[in-house]
Amino acid sequence: MSAELLKSFISSLQQDVQRLDQLSQLLDQQYELMSQRHSVALQQLNQQVLQLMAAVEHSHSSRDQLLAQLGLQNRRNDLQQLVSRLPAPIQHGTRQLLQELTLKSRLCQAKNEKNGKLLAAQRQLMQKLTGMQNRTSYPGMPL
């Protein structure tokens, strides 16, 4: 097992935990801006969210490649096998990172779903107020 590959894998986990912390904060801000209908600030924030999500996606893909180089896949059994091969102090920290990454991913997903529900409710209200029937996109007017 290559020490350099393992170091890159663990570093990637740490970076993604930090990215998910940032994403969680941005999703909270997104909800507030959507609630207050601050469309200009929301557009800027959405760009930050998209960039951060792209970084997480890229990092995840890179980790998949690292795992492939180690002869493993990104499956629960393979990750457990990898962690079990690590020295005890590193093993514990890596398990914690994987658990933290899972929890923070779920938290961000829940916040994103909450934001989506708010957006759907606002869209429904706009349709009622403007008399527009069900449309798949917003009308070309400022909210």
Is the Cα torsion angle 30, 34, 40, 41 positive or negative in sign?
A: negative
pLDDT of residue 123: 82
pLDDT of residue 128: 80
Give this prediction's pTM: 0.82
Burial class (CB in 10 A: 0-12, 13-18, 19+), 57: exposed
Domain extents for the chain? Answer: 3-83+90-124
Q: Which residue has the tokens 């829940």?
A: 110
Looking at this protein, which amino acid is placed at residue 28? D
DSSP single-letter state for residue 139 = -
CA pair distance 115, 121, nearest whole angstrom: 10
H or E stretch covering 33: helix 3-36
- 18: tokens are 């930090």
CA pair distance 52, 19, nearest whole angstrom: 7
Task: Assign a CATH topology to domain 3-83+90-124.
Answer: Methane Monooxygenase Hydroxylase; Chain G, domain 1 (1.20.58)
Write out pLDDT tens, residues 88-123: 889 999 999 999 999 999 999 999 999 999 988 888
pLDDT of residue 143: 44
